[in-house]
Amino acid sequence: MIQLDLSSRTPVYLQIKERITELIMMEICPPDSRLPSVRSLAMELGINPNTIQKAYQELEAEGVIYTVGGKGCFAGRREKAVGLTRQRVLGELRDSLHQAQLAGVTEQELAALLEEIYGGDSK
């Protein structure tokens, strides 16, 4: 459920944070569902448990997930994940669109890109 790109410039722990946030937004991890344990996920991804730990702890600090004593980590409310992602992504879109305009990307091209991603079923 999580694909890592070890050669990416984005650190592994950030890739994990983003992916978990996506899984919560997609409701593949519904609210209060248990996430894989630090150790099992580390094993599965072939990386060190500390790296998962770091991702989970930041997600908890942001309120996207929560931790229960010796039980494990659980998905928080979808709205939290959505809220943080919206804020971040709208900023990124604004920056990218500014540069797109300078680089002569036309509104038609953007419309095509939007159609490609949002397809027919947006709202």
**Is-contact 6 16, C-beta < 8 A?**
no
* Contacts with a copy of itself, residue ranges (CB under 8 A): 6-7, 11-12, 18, 22, 25-26, 58, 61, 66-69, 71, 81-82, 85-86, 89-90, 92-94, 96-108, 110, 113-114, 117-118, 122-123
**In the window 5-34, what residues touch DNA (CB under 7 A)?**
11-14
Query: Which residues are paired to 73 by β-bridges?
Result: 67
* Triad 13, 51, 76: Cα angle to 5°: 65
| CA distance linking residue 19 with residue 114, whole number of Å | 22
Cβ proximity to DNA: between 60 and 62 the closer is 60
| H-type alpha helices, the chain | 12-25, 38-45, 49-61, 78-102, 107-118
Q: Which of 2, 19, 31, 49 binds DNA (CB under 7 A)?
A: 49
Q: Which of 20, 23, 25, 73 binds DNA (CB under 7 A)?
A: 73
61 binds DNA (CB under 7 A): no
